[in-house]
Amino acid sequence: MDRHLRTPELLIDLDVVSRSYEALTSQLPGLTVHYAMKCNPHQEIIGRLHSLGCRFEIASAAELDELRRIGADPAQVLYSNPVKPVAHIAAAHAAGVWRFAFDGEEELDKIAAVAPGAAVLVRLSAHQIRSGVPSEGKFGVDADTAAALLLAARDRGLRPYGVAFHVGSQMLLAHAWRAPLRAVARVMDKLAAESVFLQMVNLGGGFPARYCAVNLPPLSDYATAIGIGLAGLPYPVETVIEPGRAVVAEAGTLRATVIGTAVRHGRRWAHLDVGAFNGLMESLETGNELRFPVTDSRCDARRDRFHLTGPTCDSQDTIMFDVELSAGLRAGDEVYLGCAGAYTTVYASRFNGFDPPAVRCVSGVTLETSGDAAYSR
């Protein structure tokens, strides 16, 4: 018997990627989109986005390599990781990247040494509000320090170019952008007093995707909040966003096979060939609070509730508790997790010897993911 399994497999609907990108560009007018490579750097995804005119942001030189493979222009890429290996800065600079984020003097020294004359964006802290997937905290300085750092950049022959912040991933409160934009205005005012004028404000990512049990505000709410914030800036600047999840999450459906089911202490468990360690690490990161819409191949009218877990012998490998699926679910059935295009394969390891999902780009297989609907079908 061939022990290699047909699953897990991550199906990506590239048409949904296109629609999500176009929704962002049309409903957040005036903002340039730089897709966050870290979210899902699969070649066909970034190729499709590139063909639509999308730009990119990178967190490492390895991500730049992926972009060069699809013919993206490094001059349009933002290197937004505030702390970078010096060899990565040098490689990116040599390739034509000229805009780098930073949030400290040592990083300025590194950039000045290997990317002389580069343009720099200082990272502001902006974690007053908790996001759905905690991703903020280690980076960023206050507005006064940010202004001082941009002057320090000028002193090193670098170009004080902009301010960047990140409100946190899966941010469900559109007004989260307003306080950081007030801090940006303060940075711009302080620099204007020194006759330094900025070219760019980078509003980061954080735009949410439609998981279950999520009250997703319309994009127009985000446009309104950001518009109010931008109106408070002392002069107009180029404004960019760096969405990842909002572009690709809903395009992805994770196809998994039930390895087995069991009843323990009166509760049914379903074990899949994908779990926290080989694709669904965000379950662990969020304490199983992120709810993926789920259906199964059995489609029983009779439903039952399951704890959904992964293939390893580690109990932290659990995806979601208390999920409704076919009552007759058993080994060999397939389970489909929607909204799985973002932060899945990129976090996957081979723990216990279980393979990460293969990625296959297709059309028209995306699940209905509106609210809890997928649960009740």
Active site residues: 313
**Least distance CB 276 / its own copies (angstroms):** 9
**Rule CB under 8 A: is residue 17 a binding residue for its own copies?**
no
Query: In the complex with its own copies, which residue's Cβ is closer, 38 or 55?
Result: 38
**Rule CB under 8 A: is residue 352 a binding residue for its own copies?**
yes
**Rule CB under 8 A: is residue 80 a binding residue for its own copies?**
yes
**Rule CB under 8 A: is residue 147 a binding residue for its own copies?**
no
**Rule CB under 8 A: is residue 106 a binding residue for its own copies?**
yes
7 touches 337 (CB < 8 A): no
Other Cβ atoms closer than 10 A to 52 = 13
Query: In the complex with its own copies, which residue's Cβ is closer, 4 or 302?
Result: 4
Residues 313-332 that bind its own copies (CB under 8 A): 313-318, 330-332
**Rule CB under 8 A: is residue 304 a binding residue for its own copies?**
no
Minimal CA–CA distance to 39: which of 291, 284, 208, 245? Answer: 245
Pairing of strands 159-164, 119-123: parallel
**Rule CB under 8 A: is residue 8 a binding residue for its own copies?**
no
**Rule CB under 8 A: is residue 296 a binding residue for its own copies?**
no
CB contact burial 116-128 (16+ within 10 A = b; e otherwise): eebbbbbbbbbbe
Question: Which segments within 109-154 are labelled E, that is strand?
Answer: 119-123
**Least distance CB 224 / its own copies (angstroms):** 27
Query: In the complex with its own copies, which residue's Cβ is closer, 37 or 174?
Result: 37
CA 6, CA 262: separation in Å to the nearest integer?
A: 22
> Given the rule CB under 8 A, which of 15-23, 181-189, 214-222, 280-288 is the region that contacts its own copies?
280-288
Build a one-symbol-per-residue string for 230-259: x at contacts with its own copies by CB under 8 A, - elsewhere: ---------------------------x-x
Query: In the complex with its own copies, which residue's Cβ is closer, 136 or 250?
Result: 136
CA 167, CA 64: separation in Å to the nearest integer?
A: 24
Q: What Å distances lie between residue 177 and 24, 61, 90, 120, 260, CA to CA?
A: 16, 29, 32, 21, 45
Q: Strand, helix or coil at 346?
A: helix
**Least distance CB 62 / its own copies (angstroms):** 3
**Least distance CB 90 / its own copies (angstroms):** 4
**Among 70, 90, 172, 179, interactor with its own copies by CB under 8 A:** 90
**Rule CB under 8 A: is residue 130 a binding residue for its own copies?**
no
**Rule CB under 8 A: is residue 60 a binding residue for its own copies?**
yes
β-partners of residue 309 are 271, 318
Cα dihedral 96→99→101→105 (10° resolution): 90
**Among 9, 273, 296, 333, interactor with its own copies by CB under 8 A:** 273
CA 23, CA 294: separation in Å to the nearest integer?
A: 25
